[in-house]
Structure 1
């Protein structure tokens, strides 16, 4: 049995106020953070959540921001490639995975403390907000099966 994805709603059209609020939240959450780091976080969460739309979008945005193909290609195995990502990026990616995979339990203190060593309070609050925002976008796009390159 095959799902007919074309019958899924376009949530942006159905709930324009929610869509605008999500856009504002996403933009506000990234303020003060390195744009490349933000894209790495969004890509990693989208990989975990299997969100094709967000992967397509944020891979393109990372490339536009100057991210290398090698670092993009190795992102799924970031823990296995010391020296490819900075310690700050590695802390952000560990936090991304912990916040995204809440079914594994609470964000461990060690993961939080690792991130807190690399981000000041404002940056850490922004980073968690970016992670929450991309997870929300992932869930919307997965639920409505927004196609890569498609409009919401």
Structure 2
């Protein structure tokens, strides 16, 4: 005998039924928005696009920012990242073999900066410094700071995951 009761996942919320953001940050603080865009763009210069998205995904997971997580998993796919590796980002410590040593170092640094309490541990910084030259490391730090700011803006303003509006 087969079970005829179908179980389906709830339909995703569409932008037509999604709540409105609290404030449109880009419209209400245009100078701050443009400055943050410029900072973000400068941080990304010369960094591998897949590495960038892995960092942005991890910080957004840690910060609980569904809006940015949705955006950056989509962007990662466009950059050539596999769903399999994206599923492993949250547990990269246990699934390190999915990631290069440089990616592991970047993810560790992302966690240390995102969860900062005092300073970044010397061993985390040394691991990143062993994988990246100083200019790249500086841009990586800037990228991590930028995504943490974007996450906080999105969370504070009530951005809704899956809506078309970017930042």
Q: What TM-score, normalized to structure 1? A: 0.93
Q: Does 1:114 align with 2:94?
A: no
C-alpha distance in 2 between matches for 1:7 and 1:71: 31
Aligned residues: 147
**Which 5+ residue runs of structure 1 have no aligned equivalent?**
none
**What is aligned with 1:131?**
144
**What is aligned with 1:45?**
59
**What is aligned with 2:107?**
93
Per-residue Cα deviation, 1:50-94 (whole angstroms, up to 9, x for no partner)? 111111110000000010111001110001013110000000000
C-alpha distance in 2 between matches for 1:149 and 1:69: 17
Secondary structure of the residue that 1:102 maps to in structure 2?
coil
C-alpha distance in 2 between matches for 1:58 and 1:45: 10
Say which is worse superposed, 77-86 or 117-126, in terms of deviation. Answer: 77-86
**What is aligned with 2:28?**
14
CA contact (8 A) 2:20 2:160 kept: no
C-alpha distance in 1 between matches for 2:28 and 2:86: 34
Distance 1:23 1:122, change over 3 A: same
Per-residue Cα deviation, 1:33-56 (whole angstroms, up to 9, x for no partner)? 111000000000000001111111
- Structure 1 or 2: more helix by fraction: 1
Of 82, 86, 93, the residue aligned with 1:68 is 82
- The alpha carbon displacement at 1:7 in A equals 6.7
Say which is worse superposed, 75-84 or 125-134, in terms of deviation. Answer: 75-84
